[in-house]
Amino acid sequence: MVPHVGATRGGLVGHEEGQSLKEAIRRINEINAAARSIRSDVLSLCHGGAIAEPEDTIEVYRTTECVGFVGASSIDRIPIERAVKTAAAEFKAVPLPQTH
């Protein structure tokens, strides 16, 4: 099961409003508890919302029963945006040749 706690925050086009990581963890724990009330052998992964950086998953693993992370924007969009932004800045920093 994957408790999805909203659109991923961060990056150039991410959602900046929304819940905090603490709120996301609260929601994940509620969803996990509901699932486990029906079936005790549920495996839970986490996804979305304020879980956008590796450090966020550390806190989620520490405070929930999640055993993994389903990455989307946090793995495929945000790192690419950072890399492209850095490359563009490096090219922009190259001085133009002096014309005579």
Q: Domain locations in the chain?
A: 21-93
Q: What pLDDT band is residue 6 in, cutting at 50, 70 and 90?
A: confident
pLDDT at 28 over 80: yes
Look up residue 94 and give its amino acid. Answer: V
Q: Is the pTM of this model over 0.75?
A: yes
> Residue 13: what pLDDT?
72
pLDDT at 33 over 90: yes
Q: Which residues contact 53 (CB under 8 A, 6 or more apart)?
A: 10, 74
Mean pLDDT along residues 24-52: 95
pLDDT at 16 over 70: no
> Residue 85: what pLDDT?
94
